[in-house]
Amino acid sequence: MPMELLDIMPFQSPNPRKYDVASDIIRVAAKPPQLRFKEIQDFLRLVLSKKQSFLQASSVKIHDQPVTVVGRVLKTPVANFGGTDCSLTRGKWIVKSFHTQAFKGKPIVGAVFSVPPHRNGAWARGVVLQQLPNVARGYGISFELRDLGDLYPAAMLAQLKALPAKGFSIAILVLLDDFNYGEIKRLGDIRFGIRTQCVRDRTLKKPNVMQNLLLKINGKLGGTNWILPELTLNHPGDRFMVFGADVTHPSPTQAQELRKSVAAVTGSVSLDLMRYAAVVRQQATTRSADRVIREIIDQMESMMEELLKCYIRKYDFPTKLIFYRDGVSEGQFQTVLTEELRAIQNACTKLRPDYQPAITYIVVQKRHHIRFMPEKLDPRNRTGNVDPGTVVDREVTHHREFDFYLCSAEGIQGTSKPAKYHVLYDDSNWSSDALQAFTFYLCHAYMRCSRSVSYPAPTYYSHLAAFRARDWLNGIQNLQGILEDERFCVHSSQVEGMFFL
């Protein structure tokens, strides 16, 4: 029956669980750029044929051809994997070794159990116990895994609490579904300070799953999967600190404790700009009518102060701060910039009165309608999309402002969407070429996968950290012990680690 003929019965709340519907829709809706552009042109010609007299009377002329713009493809960065250099061709690569292993070669002691008990539990644990150490040896990592059997959710608290005292570094949990995920992460990240790695039993049947788990486990335990020397090569004498920030808003289906927005800021805590710490806060305001107020990060000053302290504890004061801000629309630019830039500057002077680093504040946007298609197809390009690293900074950009479009990831299916970057503030005097290349390199610094991603790694990490906070809050009736003055009380052992991977 057609959906428009149906009536929704009263007193029904929408189902918050989307299952795998989104991925199914993407597969159906994904169209290569040549087909998408043709459909747009066909539709436009149809509209123009029916409205031509009206348009002529209004002295309006609509061009029915796509705009031709000049772009260029940025140089692909070189990554270092434990002493071996490798060019990251077309935004994808194979990780054969890690730059630095977690625990520097010492065995990683891990506990493996399945939650809740189910018929595939023993098989799934067996796969992890056998395959993960075998694959890890090829990366120079040694595992000592112990099978702790099936675990009921009610017994999870006691088990996870006991692991750190017994010398376990990580808990690997095989899940039947996502129902217990939030509770596991809350106990591990906040209560007991034990790193946790969850995997669905059905995921274990997919190829390369152990390699993907190792990327996350090595990063969580303090290792670095690869480095990009060109991120800092052209800036001798400068100490960079790169930040990402995002605000995630509650959906109408979420419970009362999720009614407030959650803000996350991540900051680099290594000189190679590969390792990041995260600070997460619950927004103080709940006014849904004023989106600008909700989008401003309320506690930006204290969050920046905390991240700067993480960096200063290891190194000296950073000389340049580069800030990538996600989730801001063009109508909010001035308000958000004014409030958050002041907060960043206040955090610096609070640490030291004369501390005034150069600051670059960039807004990253994905919600726009600009798409690109190459004029001539490369035979090696099977998707029909523009090559990774394609940047456009003319014709479709502002004639006075500092903005550009960058396609940093390879389009796997459908038409790839470029990220748009607006440089709202810059007293570091970046040239367009240098900032575009730096941004493109950061898109290769995302440690969860061996592909370049669609926007810089710190922005992705802030998104992950904000959603991790949602997982902590999900289903919790008593927020005592999780929140303190809107601040998430992450365990001290996790504060400077990448718990959000």
How high is the pLDDT of residue 354? 96
Which ranges in 58-88 belong to alpha helices (H)?
none
| Tokens, residue 4 | 């428009």
**All residues at 6 or more sequence positions from 156 whose CB lies less than 8 Å from its CB, including other chains:** 115, 180, 183, 184, 187
Tens of pLDDT, residues 463-478: 999 999 989 887 575 6
CA–CA dist 262, 299 (Å, integer): 11
Global pTM reads 0.91
Produce one character per residue of 339-378: b if its CB has 16 or more CB atoms within 10 Å, e if not: bbbebbbebbeeeeeebebbbbbbbbbeeeeebbbeeeee
How high is the pLDDT of residue 19? 53
Query: 296 near 335, Cβ under 8 Å?
Result: yes
288 has a pLDDT exceeding 80: no
Domains, the chain, in order of start with CATH, read 102-220 (3.40.50.2300), 230-369+421-494 (3.30.420.10)
CA–CA dist 320, 310 (Å, integer): 16
Longest dimension (CA), the chain: 81
CA–CA dist 421, 401 (Å, integer): 11
CA–CA dist 20, 301 (Å, integer): 38
Name the region of 31 (left: φ>0; alpha: ψ -120 to 50; beta: rest).
Answer: beta
Q: In the chain, what percentage of residues exceed pLDDT 90?
A: 58
How high is the pLDDT of residue 486? 61
Side-chain-facing half-sphere of 42: CA atoms under 13 Å: 6
CA–CA dist 331, 333 (Å, integer): 6
- Average pLDDT of span 410-423: 90
How high is the pLDDT of residue 45? 86
- Average pLDDT of span 188-196: 93
Query: 440 near 390, Cβ under 8 Å?
Result: no
- Average pLDDT of span 332-349: 95
Tens of pLDDT, residues 9-33: 887 766 655 556 667 777 777 888 8
How high is the pLDDT of residue 479? 63
Mean pLDDT of the chain: 88
Tens of pLDDT, residues 358-375: 999 999 999 899 999 998
- Average pLDDT of span 394-410: 93
Three-state secondary structure readout of 404-435: EEEECCCCCCCCCCCEEEEEEEECCCCCHHHH
